């Protein structure tokens, strides 16, 4: 037998704690897989300072609670500690403890921050800064073999709840769908269903292991084969009882993080029997919210409201309960419109209307949106569920085939999101600057097989939710450099 290969004493090692949450464990597994692909030897893991030698380059990952070495590195000034919720600090620099060696820190303020830090290390550093360091053509930098360029980044989200909105049956693989959400630093999935999915608890558990919360959406009059009369107190009382019963019977045991409803606002009419819809929906939402808080104290509640039927009457919603998050949609042109081209010169007017809605919910209230301009389900072929379903378990070959069909739509949307990136930045900034206790922005991304790759449009959307002050050209550059975003 021939001699074994010896790659020398100088090695990279991964240093993490032993007591890890599920989210931190996901982060550690991800960074391990990312780094190992570049090394000719097997990457080993340290859990104690005694495991580190003078020959080692070290990657430290975790929180200061799960990885005490991170606290020590902060105290000697190697990096700046991040403390903001879901934030992270990344430092790549010469080691202050071992000569001619490099240390890398990925420190999260909490478990989610660790995971987001790992993904940002991948997208912003490995795929973007390091890979293209020195603008190499013939002598490209060999990651983790050649000296690694210095890098510093400290960051935390501008929007508290960042996510996607979709019908459940349009998720083909819930694991990879949620994986891609986490890669985008998205933490909220609003999933609408006719019936609670049989595997709902499994979906929630997987989402939580990736730092994603699940908000269950189901009908409160919308889409029902009945005529809802919001001017009739008995009708309102019926739907209050109905949603309480449905949640208690079908969703409560699934372990989700909240509920989402729609009422009767998806219309261009502004009144019902001469009464402004803005007034009627406020009363409706308050009754539902009050009933939920009595039955299930502390339950997180969102309520979908369409600007198309509220219009200039938004001021009538001032008395909206602080125990519910209004989630606005159809409030004008981009970014509310299905067609990302749909400006008509109304981008400025749409932003002005958004600012009025934001002002309505201040100070330190709750505010949410569902934005469009991505892919959507085909309503001409839509049928309500005929019974219970299993969400996100679909043949992989079919998913690939389906994604090829959807490439047409993703490629259509992409240039308009690039062109409108600065408009969207202004939109997000006006919400971020409001300093809400609860800010939620989600994108209607359904039947686009998001599982198979992160489109540029969703990348721009998610990056600006995280950092509303980012330079849009730098965001687009980073997205196009990263192998984890999908440019068809």
Q: Are residues 294 and 320 in the same domain?
A: yes
Alpha-carbon distance of 171 to 375, in angstroms, equals 13
Tokens of 326: 């209004």
Q: Is residue 2 part of a domain?
A: no
Considering its fold, how many domains does the chain have in total? 2
* Closest C-alpha to 49, from 39, 35, 60: 60
Query: Residue 487 has what pLDDT?
Result: 47
Alpha-carbon distance of 160 to 265, in angstroms, equals 26
Q: Are residues 70 and 169 in the same domain?
A: no
Q: Are residues 126 and 191 in the same domain?
A: no
Distance of CA 400 to the CA centre of its chain: 23
Query: Residue 223 has what pLDDT?
Result: 57
Q: Is residue 5 part of a domain?
A: no
Question: Reduced to 3 states, what is the DSSP secondary structure of residue 286?
Answer: helix
Contact 52, 15 (CB under 8 A): yes
Residue reference for tokens 């478990």 = 111
Residue reference for tokens 């687009």 = 476
* Closest C-alpha to 450, from 442, 460, 458: 458
Contact 91, 105 (CB under 8 A): yes
Q: Are residues 119 and 176 in the same domain?
A: no
Tokens of 169: 């049956």
Omega within 30 of 0 (cis) for the link into 206: no
Ordered DSSP codes for 72-102: HHHHTTSSPPP-STT-EEEEEEE-SSSTT-E
Q: Is residue 4 part of a domain?
A: no
Q: Is residue 226 part of a domain?
A: yes
Query: Residue 342 has what pLDDT?
Result: 76
Q: Are residues 346 and 463 in the same domain?
A: yes
Mean pLDDT by 10 residues, the chain (488 residues): 70 92 97 95 91 92 96 96 98 93 97 98 93 73 91 97 95 97 97 94 98 90 67 87 91 95 88 94 91 93 94 94 93 94 85 96 89 88 85 93 92 94 96 94 95 94 97 93 69
Ordered DSSP codes for 418-436: HHTHHHHHHHHHHHHTT--
Q: Is residue 24 part of a domain?
A: yes
Q: What CATH number is attached to the domain comprising 74?
A: 3.30.379.10
> What's the domain range around 130?
11-155
* Closest C-alpha to 282, from 244, 322, 234, 227: 322
Contact 107, 70 (CB under 8 A): yes
Domain boundary among 155, 185, 206: 155
Q: Is residue 1 part of a domain?
A: no
pTM: 0.94
Q: What CATH number is attached to the domain comprising 265?
A: 3.20.20.70
Q: Is residue 195 part of a domain?
A: yes
Contact 347, 423 (CB under 8 A): yes
Q: Are residues 323 and 180 in the same domain?
A: yes
Q: Is residue 451 part of a domain?
A: yes
Q: Are residues 202 and 255 in the same domain?
A: yes
Q: Are residues 78 and 181 in the same domain?
A: no
* Closest C-alpha to 447, from 372, 386, 342, 374: 374
β strands within 31-140, DSSP E = 44-46, 56-62, 88-94, 102-108
Alpha-carbon distance of 481 to 488, in angstroms, equals 14
Domain boundary among 106, 129, 155: 155
Question: CA distances (Å), 405 to each of 174, 350, 392, 459, in order?
Answer: 20, 32, 18, 20
Alpha-carbon distance of 141 to 279, in angstroms, equals 62
Query: Residue 378 has what pLDDT?
Result: 79
Residues in the chain: 488
Q: Are residues 73 and 199 in the same domain?
A: no
Domain boundary among 139, 155, 171: 155
Q: Are residues 133 and 41 in the same domain?
A: yes
Omega within 30 of 0 (cis) for the link into 132: no
Q: Interhelix angle for 421-432 vs 396-419, to 10°?
A: 90
The pair phi, psi for residue 434, each rounded to 5°, is -75, -15
Question: Reduced to 3 states, what is the DSSP secondary structure of residue 280?
Answer: helix
Alpha-carbon distance of 164 to 291, in angstroms, equals 27
Give the angle subtended at the CA of 114 by the CAs of 110 and 119, to the nearest 5°. 145
Q: Are residues 166 and 145 in the same domain?
A: no
* N-to-C CA span, the chain: 48
* Helix then strand then coil, % of the chain, to nearest 5: 40, 20, 40
Contact 354, 331 (CB under 8 A): yes
Q: Are residues 361 and 377 in the same domain?
A: yes
């Amino acid at each position: 037998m021939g001699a074994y290969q010896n790659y020398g004493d100088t090695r990279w090692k991964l240093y993490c704690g032993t007591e890890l949450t599920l989210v931190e464990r996901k982060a550690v597994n991800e960074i391990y897989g990312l780094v190992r692909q570049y090394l000719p030897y097997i990457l080993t893991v340290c859990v104690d300072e005694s495991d580190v030698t003078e020959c080692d380059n070290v990657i430290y990952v975790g929180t200061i609670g799960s990885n005490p070495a991170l606290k020590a590195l902060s105290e000697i000034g190697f990096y700046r500690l991040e403390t903001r919720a879901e934030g992270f600090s990344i430092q790549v620099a010469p080691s202050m403890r071992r000569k001619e060696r490099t240390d890398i820190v990925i420190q999260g303020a909490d478990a989610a921050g660790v995971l987001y830090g790992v993904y940002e290390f991948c997208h912003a550093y490995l795929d973007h800064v390091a890979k293209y360091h020195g603008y190499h053509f013939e002598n490209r930098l060999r990651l983790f073999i050649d000296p690694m360029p210095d890098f510093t980044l400290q960051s935390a989200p501008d929007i508290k709840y960042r996510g996607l909105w979709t019908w459940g049956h349009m998720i083909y693989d819930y694991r990879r769908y949620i994986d891609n959400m986490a890669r985008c630093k998205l933490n909220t999935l609003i999933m609408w269903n006719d019936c609670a999915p049989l595997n709902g608890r499994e979906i929630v558990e997987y989402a939580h292991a990736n730092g994603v919360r699940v908000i269950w959406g189901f009908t409160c009059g919308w889409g029902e084969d009945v005529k809802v009369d919001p001017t009739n107190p008995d009708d309102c009382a019926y739907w209050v009882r109905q949603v309480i019963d449905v949640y208690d019977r079908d969703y409560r045991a699934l372990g989700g993080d909240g509920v989402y409803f729609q009422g009767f606002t998806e219309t261009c009419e502004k009144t019902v029997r001469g009464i402004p819809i803005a007034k009627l929906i406020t009363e409706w939402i308050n009754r539902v919210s009050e009933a939920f808080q009595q039955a299930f104290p502390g339950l997180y509640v969102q309520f979908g409201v369409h600007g198309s039927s509220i219009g200039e009457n938004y001021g009538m919603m001032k008395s909206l309960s602080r125990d519910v998050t209004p989630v606005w949609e159809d409030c004008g042109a981009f970014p509310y419109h299905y067609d990302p081209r749909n400006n008509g010169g109304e981008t400025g007017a749409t932003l002005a209307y958004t600012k009025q809605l934001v002002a309505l919910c201040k100070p330190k209230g709750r505010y949410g949106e569902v934005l469009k301009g991505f892919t959507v389900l085909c309503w001409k072929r839509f049928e309500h569920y005929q019974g219970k379903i299993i969400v996100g378990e679909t043949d992989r070959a079919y998913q690939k085939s389906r994604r090829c069909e959807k490439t047409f739509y993703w490629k259509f949307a992409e240039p308009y999101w690039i062109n409108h990136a600065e408009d969207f930045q202004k939109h997000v900034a006006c919400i971020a600057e409001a300093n809400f206790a609860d800010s939620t922005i989600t994108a209607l991304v359904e039947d686009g097989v998001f599982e198979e790759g992160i489109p540029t449009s969703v990348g721009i959307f998610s990056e600006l939710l995280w950092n509303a002050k980012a330079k849009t050209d730098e965001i687009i550059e980073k997205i196009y450099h990263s192998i984890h975003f999908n440019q068809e």
